[in-house]
Structure 1
Amino acid sequence: MKIILENEKHIALEIANLSIGYQRKKQDIIIAQDISFALNKGELAAIVGVNGIGKSTLLRTLGAVQKSISGAIAIEDKALQNYTPLELATKISLVLTEAIASKNLTIAELIALGRQPYTNWLGTLTEVDKAKTKEAIQLVEIEALQHKKCYELSDGQLQRVMIARALAQDTPIILLDEPTSHLDLYHKVQILKLLKTIAHHTQKTILFTTHEIEVALQLSDKMLLLRKEESYFDTPEALIQGKYFEKLFPANTIQFDPILGSFKIV
């Protein structure tokens, strides 16, 4: 496992010797193991790998939606399991691929749901909550959409709304599962450029899964190449130089061109 630990005092998320998977008949089924990496504040990082390798499972494990099989996860130097659910909701916001429960909400109403960890039992929004919601709407540039219903939006617009809800939650770490799925190339690039700008300007740590390896190569600060037995983590440039992308797919089918930073069929 290749790990780069820069500016350790600024580490937001640290994973060591993590194994992920699920239980079947009280037996641990490991999908991927020996995962170790650390992310600093203000970094945009991508998780890439072949289908079924556990990208979404890793994200859900980091977000405490499901348990790890072994290993350690620390958020701001505190073990994940030592956070209460409410405390964790102020540290990590998680956007999965599940459909929205009610698309009859307005955009502003959906984004305001990100403030739930801070509201009272009635869900009453304070002036601070309203200000955070407004700030999130401005950050993703959807002011013109805020009074529309969710069902009126395109896929690309809805992706921005879900990112805004995560921003309204105001956590130092944001986890996104396939934020560019179902989008054309232009909108994929637009979303990832937006995420990079947000990470750098707000100093939030953003980790996302993607199948768009070539786009992620150009826009991510760090990347995790997830594999079953071993994974690789570093800057895109260092991973290219180390020829790690050549290990993702069978060489007799798909090859990686380190000069162009792209894959070609052979």
Structure 2
Amino acid sequence: MTGPPNKRQKREDYKKAQASIQDGNVALPKKKFYRQRAHANPFSDHLLAYPVSPQELDWTSHYPAFAQLDHANGTVSRMTHEVEIADIGCGFGGLIVALSRLFPETLMLGMELRAQVLDYVIGRVAALRAQNQSTETQHSPYQNISALRTNTMKFLPNYFRQGQLSKIFLCFPDPHFKQRKHKARIVSAQLNAEYAFVTKPGGMVYTITDVEELHQWMAKHFEGDEAGDARELWERVPDTDLHEDPCVKVMSEETEESKKVTRNGGKKFIAVFRRKPNPEWP
């Protein structure tokens, strides 16, 4: 006689049921079936598949509504848009979902290392697309968002060409409190140079955290010092200008972590940095 199903079995049964539902009846996935550790070690060997270059990635599978068809033979010829916004460590996808309607013609990509969390985001996007099918506009809602599993600390330039992105979001990254773990932080001199490589001049990097020490760390590394390269690449947007940016409002209110901090009465520390024009060669 078998006992009641355990948590793993319930989770697997739920995912199978979700996969078999017809598009018109898709419900949003339930987070309780996609729980995983809050953070993942970026230096672990995750056996990830990644493109050799941005040109090698098939974006049409992520954004089929933005793929241009060759009517002569019925095949996809090219994408009509490029990804312009990246949410690094997208978690459960609250940010890209909220930004989707704010920028309906801008392609956005959530990038997440944790497999279970990514499965939730993929299911969430699929459900939202199915629930909001429309012919009233050029593209139905949520067709402009997608997510994939990758390690951006290792492979970010494999996904985006130089100067492709207009916005990068770093929302509530793992603080890695211990000093020996600081090398795993998502902001560092080396990584900031990679962010500068994929961000167009005038593009923005948005950061938010509830850890003041991490906030100061990120600001220090983006602002740089007089002898550092960061000062040549980034400038901080004055805090007085942030209230005019709708992305700051969304980032502060719509992500799951931001809502959690609000519920717990915590503080949120925000800093935004603008990509400077490329410096001239000496």
Q: TM-score, structure 1 length as denominator?
A: 0.26
Greater percentage in helix: 2
Q: TM-score, structure 2 length as denominator?
A: 0.25
Greater percentage in strand: 1
Bigger-Rg structure (1/2): 2
